[in-house]
Amino acid sequence: MKRIGFIGVGVMGKSMVRNLMKNGYPVSIYTRTRSKAVDVIEEGAIWYDSIAQCVRNSEVVITIVGYPKDVEEIYFGEKGILANAVSGTYLIDMTTTSPKLSKHIYDAAAKKNMFALDAPVSGGDTGARNATLSIMVGGDREAFDACYPIFQAMGTNIIYEGPAGFGQHTKMANQIAIAGALSGVCEALAYGKKFGLNLQTMLDSISAGAAGSWQMNNLAPRILKEDFAPGFYIKHFIKDMTIAVEEAEGVNLKLAILKDVLKMYKELADNKGLEDLGTQALIKYYDDSQPFV
């Protein structure tokens, strides 16, 4: 079993670390704040107080952090992953980040005889907890094949997308689709509420037909319960959609719906301070006057 160094033990990462350990992998972790990872440390993860120490004895390094700037910070520089991991290490960035940055990491890793994969995930906190994540992987096919058993410990829909950056491009397509689907669910709920429908009955009626989706089945029930805890933060979805818009504009592709949904989320974050809620809080853009019941 390959020794794994894991950097980014947050909402998603903590469950991913647990599933790796359940499958027999020895896992070392680095977090800025040790107290936030005490539970997984007690369950067997080995904590290091620096990235350099965490990666030096690892055969595989997995990262899942917040923003492109965080990815750049942990990979580059004297204290970063590329400067301290050993030759032959597999570097797997599971953050949703810029395809251009993923290609930059790949090129820098290749010069040091390391193998970089961009492997963003979809499935939220539930998928991370249940090891049912969808994992979209870009990089060399040989590196993907070598790391496939590791991916199997965390997900079920694991697909090789193509060369470096293609995992991120696929995740952008995923986020574009989610933006439209989730806004559609929220608009359906807003419409049903306005006309006095029993919203649970409405969902039972339409979710089994052509309107059904993961967003409707998993996030609409949270909305009805006024549960806006983050399986995936609004602030991170804004980051993802912003990357997708920038990539699309770079090839003169107009994505009107994506831009509209991004504008809605920015309204919630910038004017209402809701950036730390889950993406299902988009319903508050439509009606925040009273509970959605």
pLDDT per position as a tens digit, 245-271:
999 999 999 999 999 999 999 999 999
Question: What torsion, rounded to 10 degrees, do the Cα atoms 89, 32, 75, 17 define?
Answer: 40
**What tens digit of pLDDT does each residue of 134-152 get?**
999 999 999 999 999 999 9
Beta bridge partners of 93: 63, 118
The length of the chain, given as a count of residues: 293
Q: What pLDDT is stored for residue 11 in this prediction?
A: 81
Where in 39-145 does DSSP place strands (E)?
46-48, 60-63, 90-93, 115-118, 121-122, 133-138
Write out the residue limits of the CATH 1.10.1040.10 domain(s) in the chain: 169-286
Q: What is the pLDDT of residue 289?
A: 59
Burial class from Cβ neighbours inside 10 Å (0-12, 13-18, 19+) for residue 39 reads exposed
User: Are 231 and 125 contacting, i.e. CB atoms less than 8 angstroms apart?
Assistant: yes
CA 130, chain centre distance (Å): 15
Measured between alpha carbons, how far is 261 from 165 in angstroms, rounded to an integer? 24
CATH T-level topology, domain 4-163:
Rossmann fold (3.40.50)
Catalytic residue, from 14, 103, 171, 239: name it.
171
Pick the CATH number of 169-286 from 1.10.1740.10, 3.90.70.10, 2.40.10.120, 1.10.1040.10: 1.10.1040.10
Residue 109 to residue 76: CA distance in whole angstroms: 10
Average pLDDT over residues 206-225: 95
pLDDT at 291 (0 to 100): 62
* 171 is annotated as an active-site residue: yes
The tens digit of pLDDT for each residue in 9-48 reads 988 899 999 999 999 999 999 988 888 899 999 999 999 9
Query: Alpha-carbon distance 214 to 242, whole Å?
Result: 22
Indicate where the chain has its CATH 3.40.50.720 domain(s): 4-163
DSSP symbol at 277: S
